[in-house]
Structure 1
Amino acid sequence: MRITFVKKVLADGNPCAKCRDVEEKLRENDQLRLINETIIADERDSNSAGMELAREHQVSRAPFFLVEEEGQEPRVYTVYFKFVKEVLRPLTA
């Protein structure tokens, strides 16, 4: 399983508040170690890796998580608590 965390940088160069909050929750709950990669969706650069992933997976909200498993379609989570319940909790059980 490969987990990618996509967080947004706003047009003014600041990190999105919700992204900051989710990253802090990941850190506080020792879940950041389960994330394979963090990618930035930079509003100032429509070709940034995160913006391209958002377009590819038709995601309009940040942050989001992309969960890839061999032989399966990638799953996208835009809600932190659902992501934790369905993906992270089983990994730590």
Structure 2
Amino acid sequence: MKITMVKKIMADGSPCKKCSEVLERLESSGNMKKIDQVLIAIEGEAGSEGALLADFYQVDKAPFFIVEEDGQEPKVYTIYFKLVKEVLDRQAA
């Protein structure tokens, strides 16, 4: 399983507030170690890695997570608590 987090950086260079909150939750819960990569969507830069993924998966919220499992279509999570319940907690079991 591979989990990618896409977080947003605002046009003025500041981090997205919600992204910072979710990162803090990931760190404090110990779940950050389960995230394989973190990509950045830079506001106003359609060519940034995160922005390209957001466009590909038609996601307009940040942060979001892409969960890839062998033999399955990638699943996109835009709600952190749903990711925890359906993926991160299941991984721990």
Instruction: Tell me the CA shift for residue 71 of structure 1.
Output: 1.3
Partner of 2:15: 15
TM-score by structure 1 length?
0.98
Unaligned runs of 5+ in 1: none
Partner of 2:85: 85
Divergent runs of 4+, >2 A: none
Instruction: Tell me the CA shift for residue 44 of structure 1.
Output: 3.5
Q: Identity over the aligned pairs, expressed in percent?
A: 53
Unaligned runs of 5+ in 2: none
Partner of 1:3: 3
- Secondary structure, in 3 states, of the residue corresponding to 2:89? helix
Summarize deviations over 1:33-72 as a string: whole Å, max 9, x none: 0000000001132100000000000000000000011111
Tell me how large the CA RMSD over aligned residues is.
0.6
Letter in 1 for 2:12: D
Is 1:34 aligned with 2:30?
no
Letter in 2 for 1:9: I
TM-score by structure 2 length?
0.98
**Pairs within 5 Å for 1:43-54:** 43-54=43-54
Letter in 2 for 1:12: D
